Amino acid sequence: MKVKRIFFPGVTFNGFYHAFNGFTSGGPVDLAAGLNQIQDRLFFSGMALLPVFGKAPSGGRLERIQQSANYGKDHFQNAVPTEVTLKGVTIFKMLREYRNRPVNTRPNNPVPSVRTDLRALSSDMPAIVWFGHSSYLLKIKGLSILVDPVFSGNASPVSFFAKAFPGADIYGVEDLPEIDMVVLTHDHYDHLDYKTILQLAPTAKHFYTSLGVGAHLEFWGIPPEKITELDWWETAAIPEAPGLTAGKPGAMTGQAGTDGNGATTGRATLTATPSRHFSGRGTKRGGTLWSSFVLKIAGYTLFLGGDSGYEEHFKKIGDLYGPFDLAILEAGQYGKNWPYIHMLPEQTVMAAKDLRAKVLLPVHWAKFTLALHPWNEPIQRVVKAVAGSGITLATPMIGEPVVLGAPLPQTSWWEQ
């Protein structure tokens, strides 16, 4: 039987992972789906030669991965059993739902945004500038820290999928100050952007990421001495900066709970902590780790959430490292077909409570369509869920600074 290969554009490549892994997560597979799976494997084996797909860990890096307590059966694993997609969800079902998607998955008008001089932005108090989705800049005490930067205009390996919303892509690498630290939570295209990394490579001082992701970075020309990879509960000292005293870049300082629960005042550290998600830039998933991060710096404790479904790890992190002055948590790109790897907005608020966060900044929305919910539904639901929780909500426009200790942006700009 001749079966036409179906390439799944719905929810782009991030969603394609969800659909593809539905074939391999124990759900039923019919003949056509099985043939499509084989064809896609062959298709991607050729595409893997393109640098945008990165490179699998090997050599000493792979040996370190294989020694990780979080690695087994040839891939990294979540702390609890986690299906990427629900059993029985096929690519055909997801394709049909995508074709019948609501029109409001993208905004009708350009997303409101603010142009901020990022180089002149004061760093006396922690200042965060969100660029939409999960990209943001943190400036504090002379340090500029860039998290999951995606400035290429799309969240996929090809330019015609997952394009940024009009108005949501007003910043580029050329607008940034000199970057001291790039923090990369995991290797999905909406968090690890090949074109952006190439632009940052000549000037960014150091890259901190989850175990195994350094293979991509090194393949793309980042010198290994500029890369620090962390397993869950490992801590790295942050290089010296004005007003801070820190250890050697990338030095391991111990496991969570054995190093004073992070940094003391004047000593800055970055700790990789668990998340409930997955990884991969092709057909194989789990070859590199996915993480959240705890940043302790200048007397502040910040949670950099990355991608995660809801689970008990948030409470454990909150018990070990909280309370947090700020938690930056995903709130969008959830879907009924993948309920365990992304949080519902109400779960985002629950996670902030578990972390004992004083301020919540919801991200992972307002730039790309990677799911089927209305583009502004995540923040609408977060606003309702956070009421009466005791947590202060920050709702900045793209480019609008969030400064801890100052009045926070809280307008409902997404309703305009």
Q: Where are the domains of the chain?
A: 127-415
Q: Is the pLDDT of residue 255 over 60?
A: no
Write down the residue that tokens 């969030």 correspond to. Answer: 402
pLDDT greater at residue 3 or residue 165 = 165
Q: How far apart are CA 244 and CA 84, in angstroms?
A: 41
Residue 326 binned pLDDT confidence (cut-offs 50, 70, 90): very high
Given this model, what pLDDT does residue 250 score? Answer: 40
Given this model, what pLDDT does residue 241 score? Answer: 59
Least confident window among 22-36, 60-74, 399-413: 22-36
Average pLDDT over residues 386-402: 97
Give, in order, the Cα–Cα distances in Å from 325 to each of 11, 181, 296, 396, 404: 33, 20, 10, 17, 8
Q: Is the pLDDT of residue 21 over 50?
A: no
Average pLDDT over residues 137-149: 96
pTM: 0.87
Give, in order, the Cα–Cα distances in Å from 154 to each of 28, 32, 149, 194: 32, 30, 12, 11
Given this model, what pLDDT does residue 30 score? Answer: 31
Given this model, what pLDDT does residue 404 score? Answer: 97
Angular region, 298: left φ>0, alpha ψ -120 to 50, beta rest:
left
Q: Is the pLDDT of residue 44 over 70?
A: no
Could you write out the DSSP letters of every residue in 47-113? HTTSGGG-----HHHHHHHHT-TTEETTEE--SS---SS-TT--HHHHHHHHHT--GGGS-SSPPPB
The 8-class DSSP code of residue 214 comes to H
Q: Is the pLDDT of residue 290 over 70?
A: yes
Residue 282 binned pLDDT confidence (cut-offs 50, 70, 90): confident
Given this model, what pLDDT does residue 99 score? Answer: 81
Given this model, what pLDDT does residue 361 score? Answer: 98
Given this model, what pLDDT does residue 90 score? Answer: 87
Q: pLDDT (tens digit, 9 = 90+) per residue, 86-120?
A: 998 988 888 888 888 888 999 999 999 999 999 99
Given this model, what pLDDT does residue 40 score? Answer: 41
Q: Is the pLDDT of residue 415 over 50?
A: yes
Residue 20 binned pLDDT confidence (cut-offs 50, 70, 90): very low
Average pLDDT over residues 59-72: 97
Residue pair 294/26 in contact (Cβ under 8 Å)? The answer is no
Best CA proximity match to 24, nearest among 10, 42, 37, 8: 37
Given this model, what pLDDT does residue 276 score? Answer: 98
CATH number of 127-415: 3.60.15.10
Question: Hey, what amino acid is at 213?
Answer: V
Residue pair 127/164 in contact (Cβ under 8 Å)? The answer is no
